[in-house]
Amino acid sequence: MDAKMRMIDQGLSEEFSKAFNENRAYVIASRAVVNNGLMEAAEDYTAVRKLNEGFTIDLRSKEGKITNQRASGRCWIFAALNTFRFEVMKNLNLKDFELSQNYLFFYDKLEKANYYLESILSITDEPVDGRLYCFLNKSPLQDGGQWSMVSNLVVKYGVVPKEQYNDAKSAETSRWMNEALTSRLREDAVCLRRASKEGKSVEELLKMKREMLKEVYRILCICLGEPPKSFDFIVSDKDDKVIADYGITPQEFFKKYVGLELSDRVSLINAPAEKRPMNRMYTVKFLGNVWEGKKVAYLNLEMEKIKKAVIGQLKDGHPVWFGSDCAKFSLRKKGIFDRASADIESLFDIHYGFTKGERLTYGDSAMNHAMTI
């Protein structure tokens, strides 16, 4: 009896089939989903029309044209630069403006390569099949990132206008560049571990790493082009007044025309998990890009406090960078993320009852996309 209860036999399959086909709603739901797709069939138009697109605080008049990350995971860079370009447009009275995502993407890859190799050097005694090494080795140069990471890049490298360093094909579709770099870095990790076990000194290992990074820089230049060290900035404002700044560096440009103090900013999260008490700072070990930069850090707060902080920043006239789980209850074509509007629970005749803390703990939810409010 016990063995039979553990397997799916023909009788059980027939029981499932009978229960499905005897329910008219299930059969109709199946037709709708098979022919139209899951999220299309799940859309509840009555819930959608209840959503109000009017806002008491609206900064969209200064947001500029929509930007497009294409087939890459650069959302966090795009979102951050959209908050920065807002400041440039406001400060210079511009109708539209865009900063180079390719520029930060280049240096993020270079810094992540260094971060990965430094991490490998710090755990040479760890087994290669251990959890930590597997975490580091899974995706050394992933496109994604956090607010602290973009902040580190901007503090170190500044920003440039998009026309000074436009998107390369390998930025718009980053897969093949990432494949090439990742394979090379994993091989570099093998070489560093082997050299360490052979008794090479720290100085010798760092010299090896320097040569490895020279290769990474070369590959990035071939794929993305070499970033500018300085440039001439010439633009006309809404009143046709010409603004010209010659030979300005990316760091000078950020300080002069964006003017934000990034050290004043912190990432707020709402992670109501059992082992994550509120009102505390958290980090993730070995998550970062600039090795000597600020650690990725989050302040865990109740959602009401986060809402208050967001509203306060908007009232002060500054857009907000944020990340969320965009894989859940998503009507992407309409830009709606709403459980009632994407009603897959009614469609499947189920109910998702576990808490947000449980979803985070069991890996069902995580930040996977960054945007701007």
Q: What is the pLDDT of residues 91-130, one digit of tens each?
A: 999 999 999 999 999 999 999 999 999 999 999 999 999 9
The mean per-residue pLDDT over the stretch 167-172 comes to 97
Residue for token pair 């865990």: 300
pLDDT value at residue 62? 66
Reply yes or no on whether the pLDDT at 172 is more than 70.
yes
Q: What end-to-end distance do the CA atoms of the chain give, in Å?
A: 57
pLDDT, averaged across the chain = 95
Secondary element (H or E) of residue 38? helix 38-42
Torsion angle defined by CA atoms of residues 17, 19, 20 and 21, in that order, rounded to the nearest 10 degrees: 80
pLDDT value at residue 251? 98
Higher pLDDT: 53 or 154? It is 154
pLDDT value at residue 60? 77
pLDDT value at residue 53? 79
Q: What is the pLDDT of residues 221-231, one digit of tens each?
A: 999 999 999 99
Question: Residue 370 pairs with which residues in a beta bridge?
Answer: 323
Higher pLDDT: 353 or 53? It is 353
Residue for token pair 């609206």: 58
Reply yes or no on whether the pLDDT at 55 is more than 90.
no
pLDDT value at residue 63? 65
E strands, the chain, in order: 231-236, 242-248, 267-269, 280-283, 297-300, 321-324, 330-331, 336-337, 369-372
pLDDT value at residue 1? 59
The Cα–Cα gap between 184 and 182 comes to 5
The Cα–Cα gap between 341 and 43 comes to 6
> Does the structural domain 60-372 have CATH classification 3.90.70.10?
yes
Backbone angles phi, psi at 192, to 5 degrees: -65, -40
Region label for 23, one of left (φ > 0), alpha (ψ between -120 and 50) or beta (otherwise):
beta
Higher pLDDT: 1 or 170? It is 170
Reply yes or no on whether the pLDDT at 48 is more than 80.
yes
Stated pTM of the model: 0.93
Q: Which amino acid is present at 194?
A: R
DSSP-derived letter for residue 67 is: P
Helix axes 202-224, 175-197, angle to 10 degrees: 170
3-class state of residue 233 by DSSP: strand
Lowest mean pLDDT among 43-47, 277-281, 332-336: 332-336
Q: What is the pLDDT of residues 196-249, one digit of tens each?
A: 999 999 999 999 999 999 999 999 999 999 999 999 999 999 999 999 999 999
Q: What is the pLDDT of residues 269-299, one digit of tens each?
A: 999 998 999 999 999 999 999 999 999 999 9
CB 296 within 8 A of CB 287: yes
pLDDT value at residue 316? 95
Read out DSSP for 252-294? HHIIIII---GGG--EEE----TT--SSEEEE-TT--SSTTSP
Domain boundaries, the chain: 60-372
The mean per-residue pLDDT over the stretch 68-89 comes to 96
Reply yes or no on whether the pLDDT at 56 is more than 90.
no
Reply yes or no on whether the pLDDT at 2 is more than 80.
no
For Cα atoms 363, 368, 371, give the angle at the middle one, nearest 5 degrees: 150
What share of the chain in percent tops pLDDT 90? 92
CA–centroid distance for 289 within its chain: 13
Helix axes 101-122, 147-157, angle to 10 degrees: 110
What share of the chain in percent tops pLDDT 70? 99
The mean per-residue pLDDT over the stretch 125-145 comes to 94
Backbone angles phi, psi at 342, to 5 degrees: -100, 75
Q: What is the pLDDT of residues 12-30, one digit of tens each?
A: 999 999 999 999 999 999 9
For Cα atoms 361, 332, 53, give the angle at the middle one, nearest 5 degrees: 100
The order of strands in the sheet holding 297-300 is 267-269, 297-300, 280-283
